[in-house]
Amino acid sequence: MKSLSNKWTRAAIPALLIHCSIGTVYCWSTFKEAIATKIGMSTFAVGWAFSLAIFFLGMSAAFAGKMVEKDIHKSSLISCICFTLGMIGTGISIQFLTGWVALIAIFLCYGCIMGIGLGVGYLTPVKTLMLWFDKQKGLATGISIMGFGLAKAIATPLMELLQGKFGISWMFYILGAIYFVMMFIGHLILKKPEGWVEKDEKKDPFKFTDMFKDKVFLGIWLMFFINIHCGLALITYEKQLLNTAFAGMAILGAMISIIPSVTAAFNALGRIGYSTISDKLKERNTVYKIIFISSILITLIALIPFSITNGPKSIVYGIIVILLLVVVNLGYGGGFSTLPALLSERFGMKKISKIHGLSLSAWAVAGLTGNNMSEIILKLSGNKYDYILFATLGLYIISLIICITMVGKKANK
C-alpha cells in the first residue's frame, strides 16, 4: 500500500476532486435566469448570490489559513459539508419558496454557506501539493487550480441536461450528491508527505495587519485584485459582448453556445500553463507582467473598432472579441495558479496557507466589484460596452505599474 501513497494519489487526485467540484461556482450564468424566473425575481437581484459566494469564498479563505495549516482533514471535511449543503439548500429554496423569501434563502445557502465551502476547499490542497511537488511548485498549484477553471467546461453541458430533464431544483439535488461523493473521496485520500509535521506554535506571531504593511505583499494583493476585478467585469458579460460582435449574423446562435465553453477551457489552460512556465523562469513575477501586457494589448486592439462604430457587425470584429475573451481568461486563470508559488518565493513555505488565504481576500472584494462595475457602467452609459473596455484598460495599466514597482524582483538570499 505504501507504493500507492505518492504525490499523485495523496495530492494531485484529491485536489482535482475537490477543485473540480467547487469550481462549478463559475457556471452561474448557466442557471441564473432559470432561478430568477422560478422565484419571480430579476436576474440583477438574483446575481448578488454569485457575488456573495465569491465574497465568502475569499473571506473564509483569508481566515481559514490557521485551520488548514493545522489539520487539512478537518478543513477538507468542512469544505465538503458546507459546499454540498449550500447546493442542496439552494435547490430547496428554489422549489418551495418564492419572491424575497426565496432570494434571502438563496443568498444564505448559495452565497454564505456554499461560499464558505468554496473558500476552505480552495485553500486546503494547495500547501499539500507544494510539499509533494517541492521542485515544481508552479506545476503543482496549476494542476489543482486548473480543476477549478476546468469545472465550468465540464459541468455546463451537464447542468443544461439536468435542467432540461429534471428542472432547476433537482439539478442542484443531483449535483449536490455527486459533488459530495467526489469531495468526500478527496477528503479521505488527501495527505501530507510522510515525516512532515506542522509546528504547533502556542503563540502565533502571524498578524494580518502586519502583512498589509509589507510593500511586496500589498503589491501582490493589489495586482491580484485588479486582475480578478477586470476578469469578472469581462467574463460575466461574455454573452453580451458576443451578441454585440455578431449581431444580425447567422453564425450568432452557434457562437453564443460554443464560445463560453472554449473560453472556460482557456481559463483552465492559463491555470496550468502560466504556473508551469513560472517554474522555468528565474522570477515568477514575470508571469504577471506577461498577463498584464497581453491584456493591455488585446483590449487596445478591441477598442479601436469598437470606439469608431460602437461595435461593427463583422466577422473580423467578432474574432477580435473572441480573442479578447481568450486572452483575458488565460490571464485570469494564470493569475490564480501562479499566486501560491509567487508567495512562497517571496515569503517562504512556513506560513504559506495563512498568507495565501489572506491574499484571497482580494478575490472576495473583486467578487463584489467586478461584475457590478460593468452593470453600473452600462446603466450610466446607455449600454455602451466600449466604456467597460476603457475602464479595464486603465486598471490593467495600473496593475502593470504595481507589478513592476511594488512587487519587483525577488531579493537575493
Q: How far apart are CA 266 and CA 299, in angstroms?
A: 17
pLDDT at 1: 47
Residue 200 has pLDDT above 50, yes or no: yes
Mean pLDDT throughout 210-234? 93
Neighbours of 172 (CB within 10 A): 29
What grid cell was written down for 64? 481559514
Q: How far apart are CA 169 and CA 381, in angstroms?
A: 36
Q: How confident is the model at residue 123 (pLDDT cuts 50, 70, 90)?
A: confident
pLDDT at 117: 96
pLDDT at 186: 95
Which helix (H) or strand (E) segment is 212 a member of?
Answer: none
Mean pLDDT throughout 241-264? 71
Mean of the per-residue pLDDT values of the chain: 87
Mean pLDDT throughout 368-372? 87
Q: Is residue 346 helix, strand or coil?
A: helix
What grid cell was written down for 405? 514597482
Domains and CATH numbers, the chain: 1-191 (1.20.1250.20), 208-413 (1.20.1250.20)
Q: Is residue 289 helix, strand or coil?
A: helix
What grid cell was written down for 79? 469544505
Assess contact for 132 and 14: CB atoms under 8 A: no
pLDDT at 29: 78
What grid cell was written down for 386? 466600449
Percent of the chain residues past pLDDT 90, beyond the cut: 48
Percent of the chain residues past pLDDT 70, beyond the cut: 90
Residue 256, Cβ density class (10 Å: 0-12 exposed, 13-18 middle, ≥19 buried): middle
Q: How far apart are CA 356 and CA 339, in angstroms?
A: 8
Alpha carbon of 96 to those of 37, 105, 115, 218, 349: distances in Å? 14, 11, 22, 45, 47
Q: How confident is the model at residue 312 (pLDDT cuts 50, 70, 90)?
A: very low
Residue 413 has pLDDT above 60, yes or no: no
Radius of gyration of the chain (CA): 21
- Strand segments, DSSP code E, in 27-119 are none
Residue 256 has pLDDT above 70, yes or no: no
Residue 411 has pLDDT above 60, yes or no: no
State the DSSP code for 3: G
pLDDT at 351: 81
The predicted model scores a pTM of: 0.83
Q: Where are the alpha helices (DSSP H) in 281-348?
A: 285-309, 315-347
